[in-house]
Amino acid sequence: MKQLLLLLQKELTELLRTKKALVLVIVFAIFGIMNPALAKLTPWMLSLMGSTLSEQGITIGAISVNALTAWTQYYKNLLMEYIVILAVFSGIFAQEYQSGTLINLLTKGVSREKVALSKLLAVLLCWSVCYWLTFSVTLAYSAYFWENALPAGIWLGAISAYMLGIWLLTLELAFASAFSSGMAALLGTGGVFVVCYALSMLPALTRFLPPRLSEGLSLLTGALASGDFLPALFVALALSLGQGALCLAGIRRKQL
């Protein structure tokens, strides 16, 4: 346990001192601010362009903007969030494999599984902070701009999108611990996601596959019910646990 905590502390120090944490917090805060801001600013921007547009024969009617517009933006930005976080952590194992920094630690009698577990925990912790930061910023601004802020289904939608991130990150780390290149980890993750996405086109499978978890907006609009999300949520959880185990197994087989 003490070893694990020390390794986790090392990972977090790395995030802080290499400024990765700072960059991530800034980027995710911007995502959070952009969602309501864009929604709020859309009518204003359109009215600015209004005279030009009307000269061209386009008339703009009254545009109603509400909290839902902000949440629409939120779900549109999700993909970017996943890409950013996956890109930042793709090299977390490769960097150590290639430079040989792990050798000093492993020859102190640390088990390889603990090394992998500490990385897994650090990445998930970082994702949690970043994701919920974006969410709370969006939530706070929406409440400020539109007082009747909390649409129904907002929490399940948020948890689903968070879980999708966990699934993607554990998938990436499972590839990352087995390969010596960050690019391989990214490509592997992308590949599996594409396959899952393609499979989720099949109506029988849609409810069970992780890509469903990105459709939180349908919960807010009422197009989907919570029952449509729960199977995918559990599948993603189970897969994440399996992928976490694969990540620990991958580092064990690595010749350093």
256 belongs to the binding site for another protein (CB under 8 A): yes
64 belongs to the binding site for another protein (CB under 8 A): no
Minimum gap (Å) between residue 22 Cβ and another protein: 13
Site for another protein in 8-37 (CB under 8 A): 10, 13-14, 17-18
Rounded to whole angstroms, what are the CA distances from 74 to 38, 61, 90, 115, 134?
A: 10, 25, 24, 34, 9
Which residue in 112, 122, 126, 189 binds another protein (CB under 8 A)?
A: 112
Q: Which window, 60-68, 93-101, 120-128, 143-151, contacts another protein (CB under 8 A)?
A: 93-101
Which residue in 104, 148, 204, 227 binds another protein (CB under 8 A)?
A: 104
What burial class does residue 26 get, using C-beta atoms within 10 Å of its C-beta: 0-12 exposed, 13-18 middle, 19+ buried? exposed
Q: Which window, 86-94, 108-116, 164-172, 177-185, contacts another protein (CB under 8 A)?
A: 108-116
Residue 196, C-beta contacts closer than 8 angstroms, at least 6 positions apart: 209, 210, 211
Residue 59, C-beta contacts closer than 8 angstroms, at least 6 positions apart: 53
Q: Which is nearer to another protein, 7 or 236 (CB)?
A: 7
Q: Is 78 helix (H, G, I), strand (E, B) or coil?
A: helix
205 belongs to the binding site for another protein (CB under 8 A): no
Minimum gap (Å) between residue 84 Cβ and another protein: 21
Q: Which window, 39-47, 106-114, 150-158, 220-228, contacts another protein (CB under 8 A)?
A: 106-114
The rounded distance, in Å, linking the Cα atoms of 140 and 144 is 6
Q: Is 67 helix (H, G, I), strand (E, B) or coil?
A: helix
In three-state form (DSSP H/G/I as H, E/B as E, the rest C), the secondary structure along 156-178 is: HHHHHHHHHHHHHHHHHHHHHHH
1 belongs to the binding site for another protein (CB under 8 A): no
Residues that bind another protein (CB under 8 A): 2-3, 6-7, 10, 13-14, 17-18, 99-101, 103-112, 252, 255-256
